[in-house]
Amino acid sequence: MPQLKDIIGQDLIKRQMTESIEKNMVSQSYILCGEKGAGKEFIATVFAQMLVCEEGGVTACGKCHSCKQAEAKVHPDIKYIVHERPSSIGVDEVREQICDDIYIKPYQAKRKIYIVGDAEKLTPQAQNALLKSLEEAPEYAVIMLLASNVMTLLPTVRSRCIKWELKPVPSDVLKKYLMTELEVPDYRADIAIAFAQGNLGKAREMASSDDFAAMQAAAQSVVKNARDDSIADMIALVRSLAEYKVDAGEFLDMITVWYRDILIFKATGETDSLIYKDELSIIRKASRRSSYEGIEEVLGAINRAKERLKANVTFEVAMELLFSVIQENG
């Protein structure tokens, strides 16, 4: 079963978890905040298992009946809040699964834990309904709100919770994990780490996914053939990635890594800090034909394309504007 030692990075949160149990200072309410894939639910699950373990230590034993139930996600005192609508958690769901249940004492453990994933989807009405439970929770209750964007929660909710903020995992820690636990080759681990920017879930997914290889090849094609391919061909190439479950934002991040390597090589001529070391011939050729100003313009255009997509500008328009800049500075 997942243990405290299985949490990669997040040393401060791990220390806070153990100290709260060791000193018998477990709060009634927590907010775990961090971007998607950072490991919020995994950490909440480990903490919940620590709280219900029959041994009563600062780490879950993994052997008792409660630990086995928790691992199978069937423990009667660990509640994962579910919601029907994918985009929101409504007031009725909060009332039924938390407010009306919280005053029923635990069935077998000393504590009763509520884990609310995607807490940023709580409607204002649902958050207001939750307030009384946060304010007047019985001593045995623990409510954990998992949010990618903590600012979507009402100030009255935020002020009543202990905040645990997940930090980016250091690159060396990520690399050790990918290479030892997942047996990812050195080169692929470096690329995944650069792309993930400290996000463990994203690094793990990218390093072990065939979709990642398809995205990598497409990004290389854009950089390598920028002057020869038409904008229509480039757009069609990105469109073809749809079958690999790769979104446009991830593809743009990959192009950013390529141009970052080109800029570094052009400025220093060194290869140690390059992500795509085995593509040196492409990087060298691109650095020769591109000016510093041109590379910076491409990087700026990539960021603008991301913002346009977030603002619901059509895919074709966002890509056409980006690829025209890439061709001009390719």
Q: What is the pLDDT of residues 82-134, one digit of tens each?
A: 888 888 888 899 899 988 889 989 988 889 999 998 989 999 999 998 888 88
| Residue 148 predicted with pLDDT over 90 | no
**Assessment of whether the complete model's pTM goes beyond 0.75:** no
Domain of 161: which CATH number?
3.40.50.300
Which two structure tokens, joined as six digits, stand for 162?
């202990």
In a domain, 174, yes or no: no
In a domain, 287, yes or no: yes
* 227 and 129 belong to one structural domain: no
In a domain, 46, yes or no: yes
Token pair 């065939």 is at which residue?
Answer: 210
Q: What is the pLDDT of residues 39-64, one digit of tens each?
A: 889 999 999 998 988 887 778 888 88
The percent of residues in the chain predicted with pLDDT above 90, rounded, is 12
Cα separation, 119 vs 112, in Å, equals: 18
Q: What is the pLDDT of residue 251?
A: 76
78 pLDDT band, cuts 50/70/90, is: very high
DSSP string covering 137-148: --TTEEEEEEES
* Among candidate residues 140, 165, 190, the one where a domain is terminated: 165
Q: What is the pLDDT of residue 113?
A: 92
In a domain, 198, yes or no: no
* Chain Cα centroid distance, residue 39: 7
Stretch 308-312: mean pLDDT: 83
* 235 and 315 belong to one structural domain: yes
* 237 and 145 belong to one structural domain: no
In a domain, 256, yes or no: yes
Average pLDDT value for the chain: 84
Cα separation, 187 vs 34, in Å, equals: 27
* 9 and 158 belong to one structural domain: yes
In a domain, 134, yes or no: yes
* 288 and 225 belong to one structural domain: yes
Interhelix angle 231-239/315-329, nearest 10 degrees = 130
Domain that holds residue 22: 4-165
Domain of 256: which CATH number?
1.20.272.10
Q: What is the pLDDT of residues 178-235, one digit of tens each?
A: 888 888 777 778 878 877 778 888 888 777 776 777 777 777 777 777 677 777 777 7
Q: What is the pLDDT of residue 163?
A: 92
Domain count for the chain: 2
| Residue 316 predicted with pLDDT over 60 | yes
80: how many CB neighbours lie within 10 A of its CB?
Answer: 15
Q: What is the pLDDT of residue 314?
A: 79
242 pLDDT band, cuts 50/70/90, is: low
Stretch 143-155: mean pLDDT: 90
| Residue 264 predicted with pLDDT over 80 | yes
Token pair 């050195």 is at which residue?
Answer: 186
Stretch 143-150: mean pLDDT: 90
* 105 and 230 belong to one structural domain: no
Q: What are the residues facing 164 on neighbouring strands?
A: 32
